[in-house]
Structure 1
Amino acid sequence: MVFILLNCKTYDEATGTNAVSIAKACRDVSESSGLEIAVAPQFPDLFRVASAVKVPVFAQHVDGSGAGSYTGSIYVKGIKEAGAVGSLINHSEKRLTLAEIEKSLSVLQENKMRSVICTNNVATTAAAAALFPDYVAIEPPELIGSGIAVSTANPKIISDSVDAVKKINKKTVVLCGAGISKGEDLKAALELGAGGVLLASGIIKSKDPKAALEGLVSLI
């Protein structure tokens, strides 16, 4: 099944009660399209969203630290208790070292939660795939928030990432992100071998997020 993950980042349009509205749009379009559409709200909104809307909820980050004296860390059991089913790891706006990526992935796997490791090129995608996450999301940082879809600007990075992942393991699904907002963008990504997309501003900051999501899935 095609997987779409909508990252709320810290946009005002997806903060507090707005996050619930965004999640409801994801749920409605998921139900009408038959596609899985998940949402990644800010940490303070995890419980709010998960409690109000029946939609897969992901955290935007999780630390590999356990219980104890880790002030300011994002504890995996905290996000799980809040209703999250998984988390992003190593987003371009929250870069981690390889050791940190491994620890974050490990705590998710131990808690049977889904993992999305974000990468920025084919080499890092291959390295991430070797850790066996559920998803790797290839996002060239220069295209994030640009309005220029990676599936148009750099289709080869998607197809090459898919090939690299398949050589390492066949279970990890490749997502693509950066500039994805229209039906043509998603269609092109899927034709290049991706199993879905990670997106944010193109939907979150649109005048009508639900209509934007409907447009996104209209060609599938």
Structure 2
Amino acid sequence: MPRLVFAVNFKAYETAFNEKSLEIAREASKASSRYGNVRVILIVPAAIASKVLQIYDDVYIEHADPVDYGAYTGYLPAKAARLLGVRGILVNHSEHKMIYRDVAKVVETASKDGIETMACADTPGEAAGLAYLRPTYIAIEPPELIGTGVSVSKARPEVITEGVKAVKAVADIPVLAGAGITYREDVVRAVQLGASGILLASAVMKAADPDKALSEFVDALSSVA
């Protein structure tokens, strides 16, 4: 069985930019070594990627733009990911939506450079459409549950089961589940419903002890891997 994935989206929380981000990276390194059946991915702002990479190397950036190098003030070309030294790009998150052709451009550019992509979908239908682009991973997160503490695996389990089915009908792409994942049982249930891993943010980034929270979630995934 392929390794399950635990991905933490740092977003723009204060903990993403202070010393906590490095503590999380240190714990990710430990957890990755401790639990060989779980891949831990840290999805960070491009501005701190170099700092995190000094501690942990399985790092994605949170977004990239469908532009090449040139006169694009304030943009981050997808091709720059390779120069940053990261392994992948998160694309089309519900907080940073893109039109389909732009997602396609980022995925295509990244793939040519050997960079992974994790494409986000709000619904199973959107996930199926993204599957045709062949990203490395697809993450399904109902936006109305993000940050609520109400887990998709409890409140909307059909989103996971239908999403996995819809994607697998197109391509063999691992599907991650996210939105409201807060407790160990949320993680376990998501995998039981067919998810190949978890994408979350606030349950780690806003925790009183973020590195401990990360370790406990990875342990939960390892128990069902």
For the criterion TM > 0.5, the same-fold answer is yes
**Normalized against structure 2, the TM-score is what?**
0.93
d(CA) in 2 for partners of 1:214 and 1:162?
Answer: 26
Instruction: Name which structure has the greater RCO, CA cutoff 8 Å, separation 6+.
Output: 2
Q: Secondary structure at the match of 2:48?
A: helix
How far apart are 1:53 and its partner, in Å?
A: 1.1
Greater CA drift, 15-24 or 34-43: 15-24
Residue by residue, what CA displacement relative to the aligned partner does 1:82-129 show, whole Å, maximum 9, x if unpaired? 221101010011000011111111111111111111000111010011
d(CA) in 1 for partners of 2:66 and 2:109?
Answer: 6
Q: Which residue of 1 aligns with 2:194?
A: 193
Q: Secondary structure at the match of 2:81?
A: helix
**Normalized against structure 1, the TM-score is what?**
0.95
Greater CA drift, 72-81 or 32-41: 72-81
d(CA) in 2 for partners of 1:76 and 1:101?
Answer: 10
d(CA) in 2 for partners of 1:138 and 1:84?
Answer: 22
d(CA) in 1 for partners of 2:188 and 2:215?
Answer: 13
In 1, are the aligned partners of 2:6 and 2:218 still within 8 Å (CA)? no
Select 1:114's aligned residue among 111, 116, 120.
116
Residue by residue, what CA displacement relative to the aligned partner does 1:12-52 show, whole Å, maximum 9, x if unpaired? 112143322221121112222221111011121011111x2
Gaps of 5+ in 2: none
**Aligned AA for 2:183?**
K
d(CA) in 2 for partners of 1:176 and 1:155?
Answer: 10
d(CA) in 1 for partners of 2:159 and 2:180?
Answer: 14
Return structure 1 stretches of 4+ with deviation > 4 angstroms: none
Q: Secondary structure at the match of 2:71?
A: coil
Tell me the number of residue pairs that the alignment of Structure 1 and Structure 2 aligns.
Answer: 218
Q: How does 1:54-133 map onto structure 2 within 5 Å?
A: 54-133=56-135
Q: Which residue of 2 aligns with 1:213?
A: 214
**Aligned AA for 1:182?**
Y
Greater CA drift, 87-96 or 53-62: 53-62
Q: Which residue of 2 aligns with 1:45?
A: 48
Gaps of 5+ in 1: none
Query: Aligned-pair RMSD on alpha carbons?
Result: 1.2
How far apart are 1:76 and its partner, in Å?
A: 2.5
